[in-house]
Structure 1
Amino acid sequence: MINPVVVQNMKSKLEGKHFLKLADFTKAELMDLIRYTIQLKNMQKVGESHQLLKGKTLAMIFEKSSTRTRVSFETGMYQLGGHAMFLNKNDLQIGNGETIADTAKVLSRYVDGIMIRTYDHAIVEELADNASIPIINGLTDDFHPCQVLADLVTIYEEKGSFKGLKLAFVGDGNNMAQSLLMGCAIMGIDCTVASPDNSQVDPEVFKQVMGKAAVSGAKIEQTNDPHKAVEGADVIYTDVWASMGWNGDLEKRKQSFMKFQVNDELVKEAKEDYLFLHCLPAHREEEVTGTVIDGDHSVVFDQAENRLHAQKAILTSLL
């Protein structure tokens, strides 16, 4: 049965907060969310009711399409006894020129929280600055904090601890790479990102990551050598080479990224019990071969499932 003390502690710790990026949270807060996620997951598995958000409504604004984000938040709200309202940009007056600030103020009078999946991270920040209810970042071009919380849960479930772990991210230095670097830096996980020289993470974000790593003791590196990154890794992570909304010569980009493919040869550099993670959707035989993503080391579908439980932990903590 759910411990009401745990729920109250989570709410008191995160009361008044938004969930915009991992840098806004301490190691202790993220660890509490990880443990709380696992507790909610266990309750769901045994069929124990936990309708902690009965009567609450979440507005879900989507400017980018989604499978996992939409379904996990919508299902999560249902399981928690609340209601999720799907809104694309054509459903809102934002598409007709209404300001983000006015939208935030109006929706704050109607619903209990807003989850938004959009392009420019500044939109999420402006929404949070003007809303009187919690704002959750479902993904922007810069950050994907909900995904990384689920990733940390998956790693913790599989490894039992973060101590002494190394994560290697191989591919584009995109929003996933940036959020993973931040999550690892806060939690004390060594992390190396291997990307082509023209696709590395944002220098300002990397500077912030190094500041967090100085506190936790995590070793953070960037390289253009995927073999160096994967050497001795406990976790290998990759993502698509061209993120949603990317415009350019796709074939040329594929050619420049081919040496960053996670394949049977590359994973030999990792530890024998390595985990393979991918935030999905995956393009098999591009960023990862089918033999790796469908192999014994892959936990991508456990990882995807954990989006649901992590979302529920965020929702109940904030709402």
Structure 2
Amino acid sequence: MSFRHLLCLNDFFGEELESFLIDVAQFEAERSSTFNGVVAMFFPSTGVHNRQLFEQAALKLGLQPKMLPVEALEKGEYLKEVARSLTEWADVVVVEHPDSNIAYGLAENDAIPVINAMSDDGYPPEVLSVLNSLSETQGWHWPRYLFVAPVGNLAVEWFCASESIGFKFTQSCPDDLRVAGAYWETEIGDAIKKGRCCYRWPPRRACEATNGLSNHSQAARHGAGRRPANSLPRGCSRARAFRCRPRTPLIRRA
């Protein structure tokens, strides 16, 4: 038996991520099996949309979702011990918490598979679902992605995915709102010409934050730039950046 965690897409190497998406496509095509088990889901009371999506997905797979308040993980208990206790009745854990260290703490001793549903510096399920859809329509010829939005969990996760798979990720936004480390351009017109897929999220906040990309391109003509070799993505803690480095995958085999 083997399992792995879904904490950040940079935990996957390029071939592993492509192989995973192929397995997903085959499973969706066959629809011949379901799973028996329980999913422990830790969500905030305000995260209705994300919680419902995961609950519906679990039921569709034949799994029983058990909803728990995410605040229970902030009681000061050792997260490794919490993870061990969850193995007595749950088969997988899903966590949505602003601090990604909560998910990493539960996954530290590899007692049970952990999914980081969303945090302030990562959103792996969202980016993974988009990559899955794109792989179905464009195959494995990964195009150049243009991300029109300020720094945030999605921008950082897209950057991590690009580092894993190797596609070109370009962000277009004002200089003070970019992900440190990502290739970026202030000229939105030039960025659109070079990119094949344009991704903007969330639409309303992205528009408000960028406040008219045509205006910012005129106000800040600094061209394109890359990060220094050792800089950290903005919004990531140093521990988070360390965990995002390429390393041995978290895989357990019996």
TM-score (norm 1): 0.60
Q: Of Structure 1 and Structure 2, which has the larger fraction of its residues in helix? A: 1
List alignment gaps of at least 5 residues for structure 2: 215-251
Which structure is richer in relative contact order (CA contacts within 8 A, separation 6 or more)?
Answer: 2
1:257 aligns with 210
Query: What CA distance in whole angstroms lies between the structure 2 residues aligned with 1:50 and 1:140?
Result: 31
Q: 2:84·2:112 contact (CA, 8 Å) conserved in 1?
A: no
Q: Which of 3, 7, 13 is matched with 1:26 structurally? A: 13
Q: Does 1:75 align with 2:56?
A: yes
Q: 2:172·2:185 contact (CA, 8 Å) conserved in 1?
A: yes
Letter of the 2:172 partner, please give it: A
Query: What CA distance in whole angstroms lies between the structure 2 residues aligned with 1:22 and 1:123?
Result: 17
2:201 aligns with 239
Letter of the 2:9 partner, please give it: L
Query: What CA distance in whole angstroms lies between the structure 2 residues aligned with 1:66 and 1:50?
Result: 29
Three-state SS of the structure 2 residue aligned to 1:109 is coil
Structural mapping, 1:26-45, within 5 Å: 26-43=13-30
List alignment gaps of at least 5 residues for structure 1: 1-11, 207-219, 244-249, 262-316
Query: What CA distance in whole angstroms lies between the structure 2 residues aligned with 1:63 and 1:131?
Result: 24
TM-score (norm 2): 0.74
**1:104 CA displacement:** 2.4
Three-state SS of the structure 2 residue aligned to 1:110 is coil
The number of aligned residues is 216
Gap change, CA 1:88 and 1:224, over 3 Å in 2: farther
Q: Deviation per CA, 1:36-59, whole angstroms, max 9, x where unpaired?
A: 22222223xxxx4311x22x1110
Q: Deviation per CA, 1:129-161, whole angstroms, max 9, x where unpaired?
A: 155111111011111111111111111112223
Q: Which of 186, 191, 209 is matched with 1:229 structurally? A: 191
Q: 2:70·2:97 contact (CA, 8 Å) conserved in 1?
A: no
Q: 2:21·2:132 contact (CA, 8 Å) conserved in 1?
A: yes
Q: Over the residues paired in the alignment, what is the CA RMSD in angstroms?
A: 2.8
Structural mapping, 1:257-296, within 5 Å: 257-260=210-213
Gap change, CA 1:172 and 1:74, over 3 Å in 2: same
Three-state SS of the structure 2 residue aligned to 1:49 is coil
Gap change, CA 1:200 and 1:138, over 3 Å in 2: same
Identity %: 24
